[in-house]
Amino acid sequence: MARSGMASLDPARPLNAIWKLHAEDVHDFAWAVMPSRSWGYTHFEYRKTQIFYYSQGANSENLPRQHEAIKAALRTSAEWFFPYPYPVLTVVDVPEEARAADGMEYPTLITAGSVPFDPFHLRMEPEGVSVHEFGHQYFYGMLASNEFEEPWLDEGFTSWFTHKAMQRTYQSYFSSRRFQVGTDFGEWIAYWMAPSVDPLTQWGFRMRDRASYFRTAYAKPTLVLNQLEAMLGRPVMEEILRAYTTEMAFKHPTRSDFKRIAERVSGRNLGAFWQDFVEGTDTLDYVIRNVKTAEVMQGGWMESPKGPVFGAPQSVAPGRRGSITLERRGGLRAPITLWVRLEDKSEQRLLWDGQARWITYEFDHPVVSAILDPDGNYPILKDRLHAGYSAKPVRRGFHYWSQLVWGGLTGLLQGVGLA
């Protein structure tokens, strides 16, 4: 039997399976049973925590991966928050017919499924789901946030923790020499599709629909916390999270508690940030609208002592000029940096205050490449796809595609045991 808390058999009734379960400082409880020998059982100890794994036979080969993910979550949470205080942690891989119970969190027990066939070693399962459900031990469990009225204080902070812990441990969910799936890819895509539906302050049961719930409770808070970290710096952000989790443990915090602690630790007034990203639904959305190149010509009708004469147009120095137009599509205004490289190999950095809807910059030479926000000051910038420009499109040759196809085929054959 998988369960929350510590278990012991009743010595007075040795022929009966009577479990006595005990856990302190918890507000919830869960247990799971299956017929004898229908799932695997493995026990480890790590950092004074007894970790019990209940796995499905078909997924048993992924147990080492899951254990490494749990260890990473224990290390990271101890560093950023405070050490996991319970003596036990139970991880349950639910059977296929009980998938509705997968990805759930309870004090000292989580359900984190795996997959029997994973030739490309995508780290969503079991790594991502294991780290995520463990993160709930803090924000759902020990802090006991109100998930009905302020779901982002649980799901959002846990998603941010998952992104950061996975990034530190694995760098990405999937990576190859030419392709990478970032650990906040799912949250970024969800936010990008419809960012202005509900504010973070909206009660969970009053959000427009299920998609908006995921976007507002999981995706946007991850990006908002990334933005706060970019604004304050990583050391300050770590101090804020450590103070918030330590001071608010077992106290049912609200968003006002987090704001108060963040302002105290950082020494900054976060009122404008709060209004823009927590209470508001406007977006920070800047794009490169277009890039143009024009020939510098001289000629046509000109005055002369004998009257107007026509001179054939011809190029004059500098020959060609370039221009780039930026556009603010969102409602939020903030200064943003533009980096450009010109055809003469010179580089420029320009700061636009972002107050107008658009602006055009002109240069003495054509623009070869350009990037908005090159320093990553705005992780929550909505449209990264149109925040960069290159005059030379990326071309994929035969070797690239042949390696991609052959690598995929090899991984598939290895997955089914034929290579």
Q: What is the DSSP string of 103-166?
A: SEEETTEEE----S--TT--SIIIIIHHHHHHHHIIIIIIS---TTT-GGGTHHHHHHHHHHHH
Report yes or no on 106 lying in a domain: yes
Last residue of a domain, one of 234, 258, 278: 278
Q: Is there a single domain that holds both residue 90 and residue 175?
A: yes
Report yes or no on 59 lying in a domain: yes
- How does 146-181 read in b/e, with b if 16+ C-beta sit within 10 Å? ebeebbbbbbbbbbbbbbbbbeebbeebeeeeeeee
pLDDT reported for residue 34: 81
pLDDT reported for residue 5: 65
Report yes or no on 401 lying in a domain: no
Concatenate the DSSP letters of all residues of 282-344 into one string. Answer: ----EEEEEEEEEEEEEEEEE--TTS-EEEEEEEEEEEEEEEEEEEE-SS----EEEEEEETT
pLDDT tens figures, 19-32: 778 889 999 989 88
In which residue are the tokens 């080492």 written? 64
Distance of alpha carbon 267 from alpha carbon 414, whole angstroms: 54
pLDDT reported for residue 234: 95
Q: pTM, whole model, 2 decimals?
A: 0.85
Q: What is the mean pLDDT of residues 49-70?
A: 90
Last residue of a domain, one of 278, 301, 332: 278
| Domain membership of residue 291 as a residue range | 286-390
**Which 8-state DSSP code applies to residue 249?**
T
251 membership: H or E segment, kind and range: none
**Range in 44-58, 147-161, 275-289, 295-309 with the lowest mean pLDDT:** 295-309
Q: What is the mean pLDDT of residues 403-413?
A: 62
pLDDT reported for residue 416: 52
Q: Is there a single domain that holds both residue 199 and residue 62?
A: yes
All residues at 6 or more sequence positions from 348 whose CB lies less than 8 Å from its CB, including other chains: 339, 340, 342, 363
390 compared with 174, residue with greater pLDDT: 390
Residue 136 burial class via C-beta count within 10 angstroms: exposed 0-12, middle 13-18, buried 19 and up: buried
Q: Is there a single domain that holds both residue 65 and residue 173?
A: yes
Report yes or no on 415 lying in a domain: no
CB under 8 A, 24+ apart: contacts of 31-37: 31/1, 31/2, 31/3, 31/4, 31/109, 32/1, 32/2, 32/3, 32/92, 32/94, 32/101, 32/109, 32/111, 33/1, 33/2, 34/95
Q: What is the mean pLDDT of residues 301-323?
A: 75
Calculate the alpha carbon distances from 103 to 42, 112, 177 in Å: 20, 5, 31
404 membership: H or E segment, kind and range: helix 398-415
Number of domains, the chain? 2
* Nearest Cα residue to 25 out of 98, 106, 86, 96: 86
Q: Is there a single domain that holds both residue 25 and residue 107?
A: yes
Q: Is there a single domain that holds both residue 266 and residue 351?
A: no
Report yes or no on 404 lying in a domain: no
125 compared with 77, residue with greater pLDDT: 77
**Range in 190-199, 222-231, 267-276, 329-338 with the lowest mean pLDDT:** 190-199
Last residue of a domain, one of 278, 298, 327: 278
Q: Is there a single domain that holds both residue 169 and residue 301?
A: no
Q: What is the mean pLDDT of residues 379-395?
A: 86
Q: Is there a single domain that holds both residue 135 and residue 66?
A: yes
Report yes or no on 413 lying in a domain: no
124 compared with 395, residue with greater pLDDT: 124
pLDDT reported for residue 181: 83
Within a 13 Å sphere around the CA of 84, how many CA atoms are in the beta-carbon half? 26
pLDDT reported for residue 287: 96
Q: Is there a single domain that holds both residue 321 and residue 251?
A: no
- Quickly count: other Cβ atoms within 10 Å of residue 94's Cβ: 22
Report yes or no on 410 lying in a domain: no
Identify the CATH number of the domain in which residue 155 sits: 1.10.390.10
CA 379 to mean position of chain CA atoms: 10
Distance of alpha carbon 122 from alpha carbon 173, whole angstroms: 6
316 compared with 132, residue with greater pLDDT: 132
Distance of alpha carbon 365 from alpha carbon 388, whole angstroms: 18
Residue 21 three-state SS: strand
Over the chain, what is the mean pLDDT?
A: 88
Q: Is there a single domain that holds both residue 349 and residue 208?
A: no
pLDDT reported for residue 133: 97
In this prediction, residue 419 has a pLDDT band, given cuts at 50, 70 and 90, of very low
| Partners of residue 347 on adjacent β-strands | 341
75 membership: H or E segment, kind and range: helix 63-80
pLDDT tens figures, 167-218: 999 998 887 776 778 888 889 889 988 899 999 999 999 999 999 999 999 9
Report yes or no on 291 lying in a domain: yes
107 compared with 402, residue with greater pLDDT: 107
In which residue are the tokens 């026990």 written? 43
CA 314 to mean position of chain CA atoms: 54
Structure tokens at 136: 């709930």
